[in-house]
């Protein structure tokens, strides 16, 4: 996978990047609300199609944070601590979605 794209420019120079990436693809679907059980922070880049992310703050932040949603399109990148923010996605109706994800830290 790494031969198809450079290290994302938005990551700090000193961050470590594990050796695996994830590819997510789907049509008219998405991910149900969940937390990730991963070791590091993650980034995800949208390559094809669009989808809406829904984020719900962790209980410790409920008094000052609100849930929110946003649309990602090809070329957009998302950096969220998915270990503490509940998140789900919904692919835009009628579209095929393709994204790549990795961790950093």
Query: For Fe ion, which residue has the nearest CB?
Result: 36
6 or 37: CB nearest Fe ion: 37
- Residues 76-95 binding Fe ion (CB under 5 A) are 82
83 or 92: CB nearest Fe ion: 83
Q: Is 36 in the site for Fe ion (CB under 5 A)?
A: yes
Which range in 17-25, 31-39, 44-52, 62-70 contacts Fe ion by CB under 5 A? 31-39
Query: Do residues 91 and 49 lie in contact, with contact meaning Cβ atoms separated by under 8 Å?
Result: yes
32: Cβ contacts below 8 Å, ≥ 6 apart:
88
Which range in 18-26, 32-40, 60-68, 72-80 contacts Fe ion by CB under 5 A? 32-40
Q: What is the DSSP string of the chain?
A: -GGGSPPPTTS-TT----S--EEEEEES----SB----SSEEEEEEEES-EEEEEE--GGGTTT---EEEEE-TT-EEEE-TTTSEEEEEEPTT-EEEEEEEEE-
47 or 80: CB nearest Fe ion: 80
49 or 89: CB nearest Fe ion: 89
Q: List residues near Fe ion by CB under 5 A.
A: 36, 82
């Amino acid at each position: 996978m790494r031969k198809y794209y450079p290290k994302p420019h938005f990551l700090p120079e000193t961050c470590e990047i594990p050796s695996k990436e994830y590819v997510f693809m789907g049509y008219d679907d998405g991910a149900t609300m969940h937390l990730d059980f991963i070791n590091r922070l993650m980034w995800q880049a949208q390559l094809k199609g669009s989808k809406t992310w829904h984020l719900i703050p962790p209980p410790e932040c409920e008094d000052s944070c609100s849930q929110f949603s946003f649309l990602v399109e090809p070329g957009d990148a998302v950096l969220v601590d998915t270990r503490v923010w509940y998140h789900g996605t919904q692919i835009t109706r009628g579209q095929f979605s393709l994204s790549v994800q990795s961790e950093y830290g």
